[in-house]
Structure formats: C-alpha cells, structure tokens
C-alpha cells in the first residue's frame, strides 16, 4: 500500500506565468516586483541594488572576468563574474560604456569590488523573491 506524499508547495504554474517575471527581475533590479504590482517592495529593492552598484563604481571596484586556472582562481573569478552579471542592465550598461578598473590591491578598490558583487547577489535574492510571488508561494 503506497501513501501519497503531500508537497508543502502548490503545483508549479505554467512557465509563461513566471518566466517573464524572472527575466524582468534579473534585467532590472526590482522590475519583477513592479510587474507583479508590488511597487513598494520593488522600489526598495531597486533603490538598494542601484545604490550599492553605484557605490561600487565610484570606489572604482573591479568587475570580474571569467578566468580559469587553479581551483581557487576559477571559483573567485567565475563566481565574481556571475555575481556581477546578476546586476542585469546595470552590468550591461557599465560594460557598454567601457568601464574598466584594474584588479589592484587597495582598501577602496576592494570595498568597491565587494559592493558590485553584493549588488548582484542582492538582485539574485530579489529574483528568487519575485519568482516565489509569481508562483504563489509567497504574498
């Protein structure tokens, strides 16, 4: 006799319902929330992400390029690149306008690099939040 396991989450809605929200949330920080009519949450997420990104740029933070080599180098540079890429349109515009800061040691530059990466990781959290709202797991 088999017993049916109940999932704590509702059934996954069709991809056409949540994919546009996820794409907009990645491309524009807070954009997925604006699309879902969560205006205040979207404004807070957008503001925090943009401010962190701009602070990183003003501190001349390094934007990672994917680089391989030993394991630690690969993790740091590919992981940093993916975090920077998670900034969506901010990353695209910055690269389009030719921003290029050298990877040098220094307190200000190091903090700037961390701000750029943190802004991308913050946007990943915003994308996950927008996804959960779109599929009905969260209000």
pLDDT confidence bin for 56, thresholds 50/70/90: very high
pTM of the model: 0.86
pLDDT of amino acid 79? 95
Q: What is the DSSP string of the chain?
A: ---PPPPSSPPPPPHHHHHHHHHHHHHSTTHHHHHTT-HHHHHHHHHHHHHHHHHHHHTTPPPP----SSHHHHHHHHHHHHHHHTTTHHHHHHHHTT--------HHHHHHHHHHHHHHHHHHHHHHHHHHHHTTS--
Q: Identify the residue with better confidence: 49 or 106.
A: 49
pLDDT of amino acid 8? 73
pLDDT tens-digit profile of 99-128?
A: 888 878 888 889 999 999 999 999 999 999
pLDDT at 9 over 70: no
């Amino acid at each position: 006799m088999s017993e049916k396991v109940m999932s704590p989450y509702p059934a996954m809605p069709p991809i056409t319902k949540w994919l546009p929200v996820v794409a907009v949330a990645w491309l524009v920080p807070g954009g997925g929330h604006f699309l879902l009519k969560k205006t205040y949450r979207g404004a807070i997420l957008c503001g925090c992400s943009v401010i962190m990104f701009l602070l990183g740029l003003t501190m001349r933070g390094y934007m990672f390029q994917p680089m391989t080599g030993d394991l630690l180098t690969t993790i740091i540079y590919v992981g940093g690149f993916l975090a920077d890429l998670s900034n969506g349109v901010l990353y695209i515009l910055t690269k389009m306008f030719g921003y290029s800061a050298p990877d040098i040691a220094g307190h200000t530059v190091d903090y700037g690099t961390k701000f750029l990466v943190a802004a991308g990781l913050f946007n990943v959290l915003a994308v996950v939040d927008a996804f959960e709202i779109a599929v009905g797991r969260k209000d």
